[in-house]
Amino acid sequence: MQTVGIIPRIGKDFAADLAREMVAWLKQRGYGAAVEAEAGVKGVPTAPGCDIAAKADLLVVLGGDGTLIHAAGLCNQREVPILGVNMGTLGFLTEFPHERAFPMLEKALQGELLASKRLMLSVEVRRDADVLLSGAVLNDAVVSKNALSRLATLEVSIDGRLATSYEADGLIIATPTGSTAYSLSAAGPIILPNHDAILLTPICPHTLTQRPLVVPPSAQVKVRLASPGEMFVTLDGSRGRPLELGEEVWVQIAPNRTLILRNPEVDHFTILREKLRWGAR
């Protein structure tokens, strides 16, 4: 590895301070380093995040899971290892505590950390033959109503065949990584990230028989809005557009993966026990 890109959480002084310290540490060891310009860190080399992700051999995230998802979105189908340094409590994705940032960065630069290859979803919003919105997501694509809208009828087809119609406030189409995000709060199952699958979780369904559905990664999922109402499609919580009657959301696995470096000092169940307080009374 020769070039390291640093993606700090925007607006956090402690992340900016660590970014400056990390740039100096890398320079002393002969590595090139640049900080995402959008973070506004002064006194260090900076560049737009998308330019950094296009050239870096390693991305270091200084923040939380949301910052790591942002970094994954910058990669634009390029599989760059990401080292997630959590600046608060242990995260689902940002596994490395900030006090261990430099020893673990040293291991990453030496190629001593294993990468978890996380499935991503390719999403398109279509009206007939027109593609209105497209992108790849690490967590989820969400179809949801606004505060004043009524229940929506969402027709779900799998591989071109009608599977079900959800009468609900919306629908979450999630990756295994996203199964511990919004989908979990909507009573979706937890899927370990080393399993490839696509998860469909209805939001506040009208009947209790409408349950989450897990389909294989080979599936092509189509969600059609079959009722009038004010609905919205959001990709990883960062990009979106309104969804109109008859428009469709097409989802399938993306050709690229997000490479998240694993902390050898914890495993996925350690994270689940701490974050979800498994076993606590």
Query: What total number of domains does the chain contain?
Result: 2
Clarify whether residues 211 and 177 are in a common domain. Answer: yes
What pTM was estimated for this model as a whole? 0.93
Of the residues 65, 140, 169, 236, which is catalytic? Answer: 65
Instruction: Please give the residue range of the domain that contains residue 59.
Output: 3-114+262-276
Residue 38 sits at φ, ψ, to 5 deg, of -60, -20
Give the span between the Cα atoms of 185 and 13, in whole angstroms: 30
Locate 261 and state its tokens.
Answer: 């470096």
Residue 7 belongs to a domain with what CATH number?
3.40.50.10330
Q: Are residues 126 and 188 in the same domain?
A: yes
Q: In this structure, what DSSP letter does residue 215 have?
A: E
126 plus 171 within the same structural domain:
yes
Task: Specify whether 110 is located in the same domain as 124.
Answer: no
If asked whether residues 110 and 134 sit together in one domain, one would say: no
Calpha distance 16→190 (Å, rounded): 33
Kindly state whether residues 18 and 69 are assigned to the same domain.
yes
Q: How far apart are CA 84 and CA 95, in angstroms?
A: 6
The residue type of 275 is K
Residues 6+ apart with CB under 8 A from 162: 155, 156
Q: Could you give the 3-state DSSP secondary structure of residue 106?
A: helix
**CA angle at residue 82 from 81 to 85, to 5 degrees?**
150
Residues 199 and 83 in one domain: no
Domain of 239: which CATH number? Answer: 2.60.200.30
148 in any annotated domain = yes
* Whether 156 and 47 share a structural domain: no
pLDDT of residue 134: 97
Asked whether residue 267 is domain-assigned, the answer is yes
Which residues contact residue 127 at a Cβ distance below 8 angstroms, ignoring those fewer than 6 apart?
Answer: 244, 246, 247, 248
Bridge pairing between strands 140-145 and 231-235: antiparallel
Residue 67 buriedness (CB in 10 A; 0-12 / 13-18 / 19+) = buried
Question: Does residue 248 lie within any of the structural domains?
Answer: yes
Let me know whether 271 and 145 are in one domain.
no
**Mean pLDDT, contiguous 10-residue spans, the chain (281 residues):** 93 94 96 96 96 97 95 94 89 92 97 97 97 97 84 96 95 97 96 96 92 97 94 96 96 97 92 85 71
Is 65 annotated in the active site?
yes
Q: Specify if 281 maps to a domain.
A: no
Residues 93 and 152 occupy one common structural domain: no
What is the per-residue pLDDT for 279? 78
Instruction: Judge if 69 and 160 occupy the same domain.
Output: no
Beta strands in the chain, from DSSP E residues, in sequence order: 3-8, 32-36, 46-47, 58-63, 81-86, 96-97, 115-127, 130-137, 140-145, 152-158, 161-168, 170-174, 198-203, 213-215, 221-225, 231-235, 239-243, 248-261
Asked if 225 and 155 sit in the same domain, the reply is yes
Cα(178)–Cα(235) distance, rounded to whole angstroms?
12
pLDDT of residue 164: 95
